Amino acid sequence: MTQLYFLCTGNSCRSQMAEGFARELAPKDWTIASAGVERHGLNPLAVQVMEEVGIDISQQTSKLIDVDYLNTSDIVVTLCGDARDKCPVTPSSVTRLHWPLTDPAQATGTPDQIMTTFRQSRDEIKSRVTSLIADIQSLV
């Protein structure tokens, strides 16, 4: 069994989408969670763009980093520099990855432009999560 932890600043968009994809795509015996260095609440646009691809994250909640979960994870993925820089130190047994993704919640422009930014983030996260799962499975 593999334990994954996705971290970003507010646990509102990127890490929530990563958790949603991992829960959908990873083997069912994996343990998957997300958190933030702060709690900003679940972004409704993240929920909407995930729903467009058939994944419901509406019941997920914005959480702070759980140090016990962090320290027992196999892989911790930070999805922004803030989370990478503020994440507590982990034991050497924890593999840390960093995906420097743009925060879609910071998008500006028309509603259509903002949704395009959220969809681009979603699609990049899906691609990275899919590759991560494949890489982990190839090692076992």
Mind telling me the catalytic residues? 8, 80, 87
Q: Are strands 75-78 and 3-8 parallel, antiparallel or unpaired?
A: parallel
What's the chain's Rg over C-alpha atoms? 14
Taking the C-alpha atoms of residue 39 and residue 49, their distance in angstroms, rounded to an integer, is 20
* Distances from the Cα of 20 to the Cα of 86, 90, 123, angstroms: 23, 24, 12
| Paired residues of 129 in beta bridges | none
Bin 54: left if φ > 0, else alpha if -120 < ψ < 50, else beta: left
